[in-house]
Amino acid sequence: MGERAAAGGGKWVDVAPERLGRWIENFARRHGPYRETGLTLIAEDGASATWQSPPGAGDVATVAELIETAQRPRKLGLLLARKGAVAVGIADGPELITSKVDTHYVQGRTAAGGWSQQRFARRRDNQAKAAASDGAGIVGRILLPSVRDLAALVTGGDHAAVEAILAAPQLAPVAAARAERFLDVPEPRHAVLVSAIAGARAVSVLVKEP
């Protein structure tokens, strides 16, 4: 699904739950027989693959448990936000079952100086606050009623925009379900929300070559 460099060496690879078995077969084909140490596979050529449990899957002790748990149906809440754009939804497995996307104008930064710059900054701050308030309202309508059914909340987009929305006191139960995973997504739209489900469900594995 995707790869990114890992701090300290190696790379992170995101694997769809349905492809876990095939991915491990390919790992063995490339690197030879392997042994398991917890959630780490160590191949005979020295390559290793260390798995992380995906959002909402809970703690697992073995790779077999990880595969079974990751493939088990579960509901995930999604909150994507950038500037004045917000997309909120609930995914049941790979399917988006409810959603709401909204945009709220937030003025870009200006290069003007003096009073003009201050006036634009105040206006932009007010617009950002209004966008966060509207976003919190959408989260309240879409996610709050179902928060007890959610295995986790996965967020993405812009950290500041997401934090501003989840800072609303009434959303404390939703914020408490938030997973560590943060998705790098463009400006939220319905298509972006749908594609984000794969990233939210994916199992991340740290691969280190010999």
Q: What is the CATH number of the domain that holds 114?
A: 3.30.420.60
Do 58 and 92 have their domain in common? Answer: no
In the predicted model, what is the mean pLDDT of residues 27-34? Answer: 97
pLDDT of residue 44 exceeding 60? yes
Do 31 and 91 have their domain in common? Answer: no
CA 206/CA 3 separation, integer angstroms: 10
Q: Which pLDDT does position 91 carry in this prediction?
A: 98
Number of domains the chain is built from: 2
CA 184/CA 99 separation, integer angstroms: 19
Give the whole-number percent of the chain exceeding pLDDT 90. 78
Per-residue pLDDT tens digits for 87-120: 999 999 999 999 999 986 444 554 454 545 666 5
Do 107 and 188 have their domain in common? Answer: yes
Confidence category of residue 29, pLDDT binned at 50, 70, 90: very high
Provide the whole-model pTM: 0.86
Residues spanned by the domain of 122: 75-200
Do 59 and 144 have their domain in common? Answer: no
Do 39 and 115 have their domain in common? Answer: no
Q: Taking the C-alpha atoms of 151, 156, 159 and 161 in order, what is their torsion angle to the nearest 10 degrees?
A: -100
For residue 157, the 8-state DSSP code is E
Q: Taking the C-alpha atoms of 47, 52, 57 and 59 in order, what is their torsion angle to the nearest 10 degrees?
A: 100
Per-residue pLDDT tens digits for 2-21: 789 999 899 999 999 999 99
Q: Which pLDDT does position 132 carry in this prediction?
A: 78
Do 119 and 172 have their domain in common? Answer: yes
Evaluated on CA atoms 174, 164, 203, 188, the torsion sign reads positive
- The answer to whether the CB of 139 falls within 8 A of the CB of 174 is yes
Do 178 and 98 have their domain in common? Answer: yes
Do 118 and 45 have their domain in common? Answer: no
Do 67 and 163 have their domain in common? Answer: no
